[in-house]
């Protein structure tokens, strides 16, 4: 479909602005080590709870953690950590996620500058915590390019509900039809469709093309292909 009517680009973060496996697999292994505190059996139970393959060092594509919130991850881990309270564990996960080293699939700064130079309003809608999202964007040197950054804790129902996306459109003063939602999971794309936005899937998460295609107007290898699809001069 043509995207000539698009005035804003709303990005998911994990798996979209940043390659999911490259960014989060090492973080998950370190997190499990910290939480297990030297107990191999506990580490195995925690890994199973979040569908993380310890042998392969990666998340199962069906892991609820991939597109879920840190509160949902807390719910999964807490039964195996009876000495911890929900709030303490959730705070621990947010602090740990904030320190995680993000790996972009393409150079981000020149790409975002290209979009803003052409008048696009940029935003982020992530099921990660706002604090972690903001820090990841700052470290990547692109935070200033985004008009609005929304996390699961920014006052909206998380994706796949459309609330966060509609909140971005409202804050930007744009109709949802003039926004394209770009994401790596069906949560992102279903939320985009429910919000009345155009949707573009990318393959830098764990979902394959066949899973994303039914919910997307286009599926790209990564966000580096967006300028071509949006009709921008390279």
User: Does one domain contain both 84 and 184?
Assistant: no
Handedness of CA 231, 18, 174, 220 (dihedral sign): positive
Q: What is the number of domains present in the chain?
A: 2
User: Does one domain contain both 118 and 208?
Assistant: yes
User: Does one domain contain both 212 and 125?
Assistant: yes
User: Does one domain contain both 38 and 116?
Assistant: no
> Hey, what are 122's tokens?
């940029």
Question: What's the Cα-to-Cα distance from 108 to each of 25, 34, 83, 230, rounded to whole Å?
Answer: 21, 31, 41, 17
DSSP 107-164: -HHHHHHHHHHTT-EEEEE-SS-HHHHHHHHHHTT-GGG-SEEE-TTSSSPPTTSSHH
- Quick one: pLDDT at residue 158? 95
User: Does one domain contain both 14 and 36?
Assistant: no
- Quick one: pLDDT at residue 49? 96
DSSP 7-38: -EEEE-TBTTTB-HHHHHHHHHHHHHHHHHTT
**121: phi then psi, degrees, rounded to nearest 5:** -85, 130
User: Does one domain contain both 222 and 113?
Assistant: yes
User: Does one domain contain both 218 and 124?
Assistant: yes
User: Does one domain contain both 221 and 208?
Assistant: yes
User: Does one domain contain both 59 and 94?
Assistant: yes
Block residue for tokens 């696009």: 120
Residue 79 domain-assigned? yes
Residue 2 domain-assigned? no
CA–CA separation, 97 vs 161, rounded Å? 23
Residue 231: exposure state from Cβ atoms within 10 A (0-12, 13-18, ≥19): exposed
Which of 62, 83, 99 is the endpoint of a domain? 99
H/E element, 93: helix 86-99
Contacts of 23 (CB under 8 A, 6+ apart): 14, 100, 101, 102, 103
- Quick one: pLDDT at residue 2? 72
Residue 31 domain-assigned? yes
Number of Cβ within a 10 Å radius of residue 221: 12
CA–CA separation, 93 vs 87, rounded Å? 10
- Quick one: pLDDT at residue 232? 87
- Quick one: pLDDT at residue 9? 98
Residue 177 domain-assigned? yes
CA–CA separation, 75 vs 58, rounded Å? 20
Looking up residue 183, the CATH number of its domain turns out to be 3.40.50.1000
CA–CA separation, 193 vs 160, rounded Å? 10
What is the domain range of residue 93?
A: 22-99
Residue 180 domain-assigned? yes
Residue 145 domain-assigned? yes
Which of 99, 119, 144 is the endpoint of a domain? 99
What are the pLDDT tens digits along the chain (234 aa)? 679 899 999 999 999 999 999 999 999 999 999 999 999 999 999 999 999 999 999 999 989 888 888 899 999 999 999 999 999 999 999 999 999 999 999 999 999 999 999 999 999 999 999 999 999 999 999 999 999 999 999 999 999 999 999 999 999 999 999 999 999 999 999 999 999 999 999 999 999 999 999 999 999 999 999 999 999 865
DSSP state of 234: -
User: Does one domain contain both 44 and 145?
Assistant: no
User: Does one domain contain both 40 and 57?
Assistant: yes
Residue 3 domain-assigned? no
Cβ contact 147:122 at 8 Å: yes
User: Does one domain contain both 14 and 38?
Assistant: no
Which of 39, 64, 99 is the endpoint of a domain? 99
Residue 88 domain-assigned? yes
* Side-chain half-sphere CA neighbours of 131 within 13 A: 11
């Amino acid at each position: 479909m043509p995207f000539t009517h698009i005035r804003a680009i709303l990005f998911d973060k994990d798996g979209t602005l940043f390659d999911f496996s490259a960014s989060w697999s090492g973080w998950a292994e370190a997190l499990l080590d910290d939480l297990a505190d030297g107990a191999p059996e506990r580490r195995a139970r925690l890994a199973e709870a979040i569908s993380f393959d310890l042998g392969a060092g990666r998340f199962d594509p069906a892991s609820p953690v991939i597109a879920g919130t840190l509160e949902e991850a807390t719910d999964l881990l807490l039964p195996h950590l009876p000495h911890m309270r929900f709030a303490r564990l959730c705070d621990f996960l947010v602090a740990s996620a904030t320190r995680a080293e993000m790996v972009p699939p393409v150079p981000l700064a020149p790409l975002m500058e290209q979009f803003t130079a052409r008048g696009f309003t940029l935003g982020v809608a992530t099921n990660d915590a706002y604090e972690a999202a903001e820090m990841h964007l700052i470290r990547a040197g692109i935070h200033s390019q985004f008009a609005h950054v929304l996390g699961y804790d920014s006052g909206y129902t998380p994706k796949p509900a459309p609330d966060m996306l509609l909140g971005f459109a409202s804050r930007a003063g744009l109709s949802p039809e003039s926004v394209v939602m770009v994401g790596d999971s069906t949560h992102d794309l279903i939320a985009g469709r429910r919000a009345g936005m155009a949707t573009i899937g990318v393959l830098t998460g764990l979902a394959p093309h066949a899973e994303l295609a039914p919910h997307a107007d286009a599926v790209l290898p990564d966000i580096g292909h967006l300028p071509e699809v949006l009709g921008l001069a390279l």
